[in-house]
Every structure is written in structure tokens, then in C-alpha cells.
Homo-oligomer: A and B are copies of this chain.
Amino acid sequence: MSSQFGHLFRITSWGESHGGAIGVVVDGCPPGLALSEADLQPDLDRRRPGQNQLVTQRNESDTVQILSGVFEGLTTGTPISLLVWNKDAKSSAYDEMSELFRPSHADYTYQAKYGHRNWQGGGRASARETVGRVAAGAIAKKLLRLIAGTEVVGWVSRIGAVSGRIDPESVSLEAIEASIVRCPDPTLSEQMIAEIQKARKDRDTVGGIVECIARPVPVGWGEPVFDKLEADLGKAVLSIPACKGFEVGSGFAGTQLRGSEHNDPFYHDGRGVRTRTNHSGGIQGGITNGEPVICRAAFKPVATIFKEQETVNRRGESVRFTAKGRHDPCVVARAVPIVEAMVALVLVDHALRQKAQRIL
């Protein structure tokens, strides 16, 4: 297990889907930041299931409590412990899961690695684990706004077969949140909703792509050669459940460009050095160049489908399996605040690291 993330702004995540509670400890948050539960709850609400008719109807309220590290409304520089109680879940809905390995879930690998697992609701491998990330990410977002005026915004750019061109630099949080699939383009949004409803009808699921921008970002964040900003962003985002790919700037599409097309020419805009294009995604040599940081995350379709599947049980015997319970045909929109949180956590960590090097 490795439940720590970050160097100077470091989070420790704990908790299972069906344990007593779930939480996170944030260590290294600078002192003097105004902070209350009200800063954290909105992103938790954006993350939780049951927000609309497209997704699972489970109603977890996910109310966060700050247990330490804040005094008289300001952070003290000491660890901030955040806790969300789990609701009493009917674990009987999952009884079958103790005995068989759901395809493309983590049941088998957890069983094989640990020998003993909390199989209720996926245990530690459940997406419920991301509650702590989102709560900690909300602190990181607030810090970024104060440190550098930086805003981290994510949206859905693909659901299954549906995708389209969305200009990252002009996208607004309002347009995103106006869509129940978090796609800022209303036409695309409608198509995505239809794509999800089709999957629901088929007792199936769909995946998609989350795109994320941080803007503005100062020059100088990123620590080559191993903690390059894109490397740390990649690790952060790829650690989110169901994420199978990450790219920054031109990404995989950029491999089809010529150098003369891909290079971002420098110019001076009167205030500072800028680039005319941003194929670099705001990062050159692992360090931010002052342009917006843009990245994308690929999420596979949810593994819990409501069709019969082949699998094996704990004794290795062939069994057939059909999921029971609530049907969540697509979780990509819910992944948006999680991607934002991970991006924000990386950026604030690098802001602190860069600050330290400015000592001479």
C-alpha cells in the first residue's frame, strides 16, 4: 500500500467503501489560509453519486469534518485531518463479491496480493477512496488561487463514441457545470447524454475523456529530471481508479505532427515571453513556461455491467456473473472533480518546491 502523495504538500488517504469512515490527512499546508468545511463541500458534492438521473441513485451525503489543523478559521501549518463518515450500507448487496472475482475489477488482484480483502463495495479499490483526494484537492485549489491566481478546471471531452473540439482556453466553469455530463458545449452535451442513455438501456457502460486546464500558471513549476511536471501530473491522474491514459499538450496526436508544426514559437507580448501555439501544454523540459497547463485523462468504461459475464470464483472455478444493484452507466462526469483535485495537488506541491529553491 502506498497512501501518500506529494512532497511538501502531502496527503495521506485512508478508508474503504464500507469501513466506518473515509478520510485524508493534509500535511504541509502553509499556515494562515482561511479554511472551513464550506471550502471543501462543493467539490465533494460534485464528486458524489446520485447527482442526476444519469447516474447511480445512491444518496451519500459525504459531509466532511475538519478534525485538526485549523484554529479560529485559519490553518496553523499542522496536519489537517478531514473525515467523512460512511453511511450504513447494506453489505448483503455485495455478498456474492466475497466469493467471485468481478471481471476488470480489483477483486482478484487484491485477493492475490493481500490474501485478505474487504470485499464489501470494492473496499479500498472502490472509487469511494477518491473522497479524500477531492477534499484535499479543494484545499490545493484554494491555495493556488491565492498563490498565483491559478484556476484548475476540468470537463468531459469524450463519452464513448461522442467527442468534439472544445477550446480549452475559453472554457468556463459555468458552462461545464450547466451540463449534467460536464461538457461545456451544449450540443455535444446532449449527444453525450444520449450515448449514456443508450448504454443504460443496453445494461452496459461507457467510458470517456476528461480534459483539464490550469490557468494562469507562472513560469518555473516542475522539477527535472524525474519530477518533471508532466511526470507528476501523469502519476497523479493515472492513480485515479479506471484511468488508462494521460497526455499533456499535443499528446498522442502530436506524434503525427512535424517538428515545424509542433514547435511553439516564442514571442514577447509586451509583458513577458509567450508562445504562439501551445502544443507543449504549458510545459517545456518538465517546467511550466507560463502558458496554460493542459492535460487529458482516459477513463475506461465502468466495469460493473448488468449483462452476464464469464469469470472465476475464489477456488478458480468457472462461474457466470451478473451485477446487481444500482446501474451507473458512466462515471466520467464524476471523475472531473477528481482530475481537478489531482492536478491541483501536483501544482501546489511544485509551487512550494519552487519557492524553496528561491533562497539565495
What residue of chain B has the Cβ atom nearest to residue A133's Cβ? B225
From the candidates B146, B222, B251, B265, name the one contacting A360 in the complex (CB within 8 A). B146
- The minimal Cβ–Cβ distance linking A16 to chain B, given in whole angstroms, is 6
Contact with B along A73-112 (1 / 0, CB 8 A): 0111111110100000000000000000101111011101
**Interface window among A46-54, A171-179, A278-286:** A278-286
> Given the complex, which residues of B lie within 8 Å of A22, measured CB to CB?
68
- The minimal Cβ–Cβ distance linking A76 to chain B, given in whole angstroms, is 5
Q: Complex: how many Å from CA A27 to CA B4?
A: 9
Q: Is the CB of B287 within 8 A of A110?
A: yes
Q: Is the CB of B234 within 8 A of A286?
A: no
* A276 within 8 A of partner (CB): yes
Q: Is the CB of A244 within 8 A of B248?
A: yes
Q: Is the CB of B12 within 8 A of A360?
A: no
Q: Is the CB of A13 within 8 A of B79?
A: yes
What 10 pairs between A and B have smallest CB-CB spacing? A106-B285, A245-B247, A205-B259, A235-B235, A2-B227, A109-B287, A259-B301, A14-B79, A71-B118, A231-B239
What residue of chain B has the Cβ atom nearest to residue A125's Cβ? B285
* A337 within 8 A of partner (CB): no
* A39 within 8 A of partner (CB): no
> Given the complex, which residues of B lie within 8 Å of A237, measured CB to CB?
234
User: How often does this chain occur in the complex, in copies?
Assistant: 4
Q: Is the CB of A2 within 8 A of B224?
A: yes
* A168 within 8 A of partner (CB): no
Q: Most chain-B CB neighbours within 10 Å: which of A33, A115, A252, A289?
A: A252
> Given the complex, which residues of B lie within 8 Å of A359, measured CB to CB?
30, 143, 147, 351-352, 355
Q: Is the CB of B123 within 8 A of A71?
A: yes
* A155 within 8 A of partner (CB): no
* A219 within 8 A of partner (CB): yes
Contacts A81-B21, A262-B104; A254 near B285 (Cβ below 8 A): no
Contacts A4-B10, A160-B256, A301-B258; A355 near B355 (Cβ below 8 A): yes
Contacts A14-B25, A232-B235, A356-B355; A224 near B273 (Cβ below 8 A): no
From the candidates B1, B32, B112, B309, name the one contacting A116 in the complex (CB within 8 A). B32
